[in-house]
Structure formats: C-alpha cells, structure tokens
Amino acid sequence: MPTVDAMHDSAGAPPSEAVQPPARALSVLLIEDSEDDAFLLLRRFRLAGYEVRSRQVCSGNEMRAALTAQPWDLILCDHRMPGFDAMAALNLVQETGRDIPFIIVSGQIEEDKAIAAMRAGAHDYLNKNHLERLLPAVERELREAENRNSRRAAEETLRENEARLRSLASNTPGLIFQMVRSPDGGLLFPFASDACEMLLGVSADKLASQPDGFTRRVLSEDRESFLQALGRAGEAGARINWEGRVCTPRGGVKWINLRASARLLAGGSMAWEGVMWNITQSKQAETELRESQRQLAELSNHLQHVKEEERERIARDVHDVLGGHLVAMKFEIAMLANKLDAPPETLAQRAAALGRLVDEGIETVGRVTRELRPGILRDFGLAAAIEGQAEDFTQRTGIPCEILCADHDIELAESASIALFRIFQEALTNISKHAGADRVEVRLTEEGDDVILDIADNGCGIAADDLNKPRSFGLRGIRERLTSLGGSFAHDTSRPAGARLIARLPVHAGMDIRTEET
C-alpha cells in the first residue's frame, strides 16, 4: 500500500492537484456539412489538451468569409459536400495566398483522388473511421507550417538585408568588395559594388572573372607593399589598411586606400571584405602642400639672406659713402681752420666744398632712410612714394623710369601700401639685375574695387624656364605678398619685347591687418 508521501508529486502536492500544463490554443476551420462529425473531431483536440476555437462552413462563400475574418492554424476538410468539395476548398486557400495546413478528413475517398489532392497541395488525408493519426498528423503539419513561416521570415529578412546592402553599396562613393584566395593562390573578387567601373575602369563582372585582375592593376612599384599587407592580414579578424597606385585601362594612375577585415569562410578559406577609396586628390593636395612648404622654407631663407644683404649694403653706404663724407668734412674743416688768414677766395672755395659734402651726406641719409621705410609713403601716399622711388632708381642706375599714370587719390591700408611699394622695389631690383633694359614704364591706377600696379620694361623679357627655377625667389616673393592680401599677380613672358608685371590688389585689402614692418 503506497504511503501518503508517495501520493504527492515532487512539489509536495497530491496527484489530483498537480499543476497541469497550460492548454495549447488552436484555431480550426472546419469545412464540414455534418455537425456530428465536426463535434467528434473537435472533441479529440480538447481531450488532447487543446483550447480550440473553431468555425464550421460548408460552402465556398462561407469559407472565403472565414478566411478573410481571421487567421487559422488548421483546416480540416471533408472530401465531398453538396455543391462543394475538398479540391475547390484547396483552390480557394491557394488563391488567397495563405499557408495553412490543409488535411482532408473523409469517410470515403478513393486512393487516386487522395493522391491527386496531395499533389495539388493538400498536406494529408485521413479516414473518419480511423482517426488515430489525426493528432500526430496535425502536430506534424503545425510544426512544418511553423518551419515554413520561419524560413519565409528568414528569407524576407535576407532579401531586405541584400536590398539594403545593394542600396548602400550603390550609393557609396567607395568600392565595396569581397576578396578571396583562388585555389592557385591568386586573388578573386566574388563581389564588387557598382563603383568598380568608376574607380578601376572595369565592370564588377569582368573583375570577378579575372584571376589576379586587381593585383595586375597595382603599379609594380606598389605591388610588393600590397602583397605584404595582405600577408600580414592572414588571420581572421586581422585588418588591412593599404595605400597605393593602380592603373586604369586608359592608362591613368589613381591613388587608392584599401581597408578590409579578414574573415574565415565556412569552407576554411580566407576572405577579406572592405572598401576602396579614391584618394588621388588628397594625395595631390598632400604633395602640393609639401611642395608649398618647401618653397616657403626656401623663400624664408631667401628673405633672411636678402635682409642680411640689405643690412650689409646699408652698412657699406653708411661706412663708405657717409663715413667718407664725414672724414672729408673733418679734413676740410681742419684745412679751413689752418687757413683762416688765407684770402677770402680760398676760404670761400673751402666752404663751398664743405657744403657739397654736407649735401651729399644729407642725400645719402635720405636715400638710405627712404629704402628702409619711406616716410613719404605714410605722409603723402603710395603714388608719391612710387614716384620718389622711381627717381632714386633712375639716379642710381641711369635707367629712365617713367610714371605714366599715377592716381594720387588712391587710399589703401598701410599694409597694402607697403606691400605694393615693396613689390615695386623688388621689380626694379630684378630689372636692374637681369633685364638689360634701358627704359621702364609704370602705371598705378584704380579700376573698380582693385588697385593695379603695372610695371613694364623693354629688356630681354622673362623666359618660361626662368619662372620654374627652384631658386627664383623674386617673382615668388611678389606672388606671396599679393596672395596674403587677397590679390593676384600676372606676367607677360613674351620675348624680345621685354617683360610686364601686373599686380592687382583689392582696395579694402589689409584693412583689418596691423603692419609690423619697421
């Protein structure tokens, strides 16, 4: 006789009070003209623990309305009814596009008709007099329906992901790719986005059909570095970040940046997936920036050298010219002091000579001062300063410098006036050193919102090769001065008609810049 404890389950409750599993909900559409048969079918489900919601129909219109009204887990259909049969019901389900387990349950059905129904889409057929297979068949078909729904959902998700990937790939300026090793060790591209044509000049299909088609396009100078980068990324999770040049079918060369991650495929082979970008413009900009920095460094060194030369020249002028005049003045004063009793004519000659030395000394001091920082530029403006500098140039070199049109009403910021004045000085220096000219013409005009300084000579002109000389700092310095103030510079390199330099500067240039030039 069992003990009291044996009458309870593991939770301590008697068997009659054990917790029952929750009833499984099941919605069943019955296509049946017999109420008794329908009751018997539903009773089997309830005895098996199902909570059944059902609806019984026996015509095409009723069935269509039921399918539209709600979703169904299962359809149990009699084979033949007055005015309606299983094949018509099956066709109706297929017309609506629903995937519902469809089981034929009939008292009498010929085997050939049952096979035809199965081929048409029915999932099973049962005899009403032998319903032992009903529940196993239903549960099997419910599992199969769930699997089909899961598979369709996965396929739909896959299609959405593929469509999303195609959309992203087609709208990405870079080339999205998958790269794998071929059996012979080469590289294949099973996938490449539409940007392949734009970046490499070849269609994605053609690239995929060419073993090592990409590797052959890499410039020979960069191929080894690409293969090394690929070799370093030979394990899953490794990354490639490589920059190099590729040749296009038309003979062009492009810089690309290739970034990819390595992934181990199901078959054990390695794949690299990533993107390639066209970085040609950034590489060119980088090269131009380095070249500009190099030129600026050379120009800075040149300016420092010019400054030292200028200081040396000023020191020479002060020592040789002004110092010589002072020594001569001291000598003349000493001679004059020793001959105070000389005839008045002699004293007058000595005094006149002394006066000439004083005048020459004053002139030297004025010239040096004007070259350092012309006060006339501040006091009387740019036009007057240019006229004064032209006179000094003519006196020093003997080359006539004619001011054909000087607009004295031009008002510029101090930094802009100094820039144009220094440009004028630099141009005159280049003419005296290199042009071999015997005439210079200068125009200073205001056109619209621009001030234009036009300097022309009748010398040998400027050869195109001269402009590209690495140490041609004169014109480079002029261009840098103008560019820093938003101006522009043009030149005429025709020969033998001489040279012409045109400096153009906005009237408002330098308004917000305080000059530190002394």
The CATH number that applies at residue 508 is 3.30.565.10
Co-location of 25 and 131 in the same domain:
yes
Residue 102's pLDDT is 94
Q: What is the pTM of this model?
A: 0.44
Burial of 15 (0-12, 13-18, 19+ CB in 10 A): exposed
- DSSP classification of residue 73: S
Which of the listed residues 341, 372, 403 is the one where a domain comes to its end? 372
Of residues 65 and 344, the one with the higher pLDDT is 65
Helix 134-171 with 35-47: angle, nearest 10 deg: 80
Which of the listed residues 210, 243, 278 is the one where a domain comes to its end? 278
Asked whether residue 117 is assigned to any structural domain, the reply reads yes
- Is it the case that residue 408 has pLDDT exceeding 90? no
Q: How far is CA 407 from the centre of its chain?
A: 48
- CATH number (domain holding residue 189): 3.30.450.20
Q: What is the mean pLDDT of the chain?
A: 80
Co-location of 312 and 263 in the same domain:
no
Sheet-wide strand order for 175-181:
187-192, 175-181, 270-278, 253-264, 239-247
| E strand or H helix that includes residue 23 | none
Of the segments 33-47, 96-110, 320-334, which one has the largest average pLDDT value?
Answer: 33-47
| E strand or H helix that includes residue 250 | none
Co-location of 347 and 436 in the same domain:
no
Co-location of 365 and 380 in the same domain:
no
The length of the chain in residues reads: 518
Co-location of 396 and 514 in the same domain:
yes
Instruction: Name the pLDDT band for 229 (thresholds 50, 70, 90).
Output: very high
Residue 317's pLDDT is 64
Instruction: Name the pLDDT band for 320 (thresholds 50, 70, 90).
Output: low
Residue 262's pLDDT is 93
Minimum mean pLDDT range among 180-194, 214-228, 256-270, 348-362: 348-362
pLDDT, tens digit, 9 for 90 and up, residues 349-375: 777 777 777 777 777 776 666 566 556
Mean pLDDT of 492-516: 68
- Is it the case that residue 208 has pLDDT exceeding 50? yes
Using only C-alpha atoms, the chain has a radius of gyration, in whole angstroms, of 50
Task: Using the structure block, give the residue that is written with the tokens 């049962």.
Answer: 126
Residue 13's pLDDT is 42
Owning domain of residue 106: 21-150
Which of the listed residues 257, 278, 299 is the one where a domain comes to its end? 278
Mean pLDDT of 371-393: 75
Co-location of 183 and 237 in the same domain:
yes
Minimum mean pLDDT range among 6-15, 189-198, 485-494, 503-512: 6-15
Q: What are the structure tokens assigned to 181, written together?
A: 């090793």
- Is it the case that residue 260 has pLDDT exceeding 60? yes
Co-location of 378 and 502 in the same domain:
yes
Asked whether residue 167 is assigned to any structural domain, the reply reads no
Asked whether residue 7 is assigned to any structural domain, the reply reads no
Asked whether residue 15 is assigned to any structural domain, the reply reads no
d(CA 431, CA 328): 34
- Is it the case that residue 14 has pLDDT exceeding 50? no
Closest by Cα among 181, 177, 179 to 268: 181
Closest by Cα among 383, 400, 350, 516 to 453: 383
Asked whether residue 164 is assigned to any structural domain, the reply reads no
Asked whether residue 325 is assigned to any structural domain, the reply reads yes
Instruction: Name the pLDDT band for 12 (thresholds 50, 70, 90).
Output: very low
Residues whose CB falls within 8 Å of the CB of residue 176, separated by 6 or more in sequence, listed in order: 168, 169, 191, 192, 193, 195, 274, 275
How many domains is the chain built from? 4
Residue 338's pLDDT is 66
Minimum mean pLDDT range among 216-230, 285-299, 304-318, 333-347: 304-318
Residue 42's pLDDT is 92
Whether 325 and 361 have beta carbons less than 8 Å apart is answered as yes
270-278 and 175-181 strand pairing: antiparallel
Co-location of 401 and 457 in the same domain:
yes
Residue 255's pLDDT is 94
Q: How far is CA 67 from the centre of its chain?
A: 55
Co-location of 386 and 484 in the same domain:
yes
Co-location of 423 and 501 in the same domain:
yes
Closest by Cα among 466, 428, 424, 472 to 299: 472
Co-location of 353 and 381 in the same domain:
no
Of the segments 33-42, 167-176, 262-271, 458-467, which one has the largest average pLDDT value?
Answer: 33-42
Q: What are phi and psi of 178, to 5 degrees?
A: -125, 130
Asked whether residue 290 is assigned to any structural domain, the reply reads yes
- Is it the case that residue 473 has pLDDT exceeding 90? no
Co-location of 268 and 302 in the same domain:
no
Distances (CA, A) of 371 to 366, 367, 418: 9, 6, 12
DSSP codes of every residue in 407-431: -TT----HHHHHHHHHHHHHHHHHI
Closest by Cα among 391, 442, 374, 383 to 412: 383
Asked whether residue 219 is assigned to any structural domain, the reply reads yes
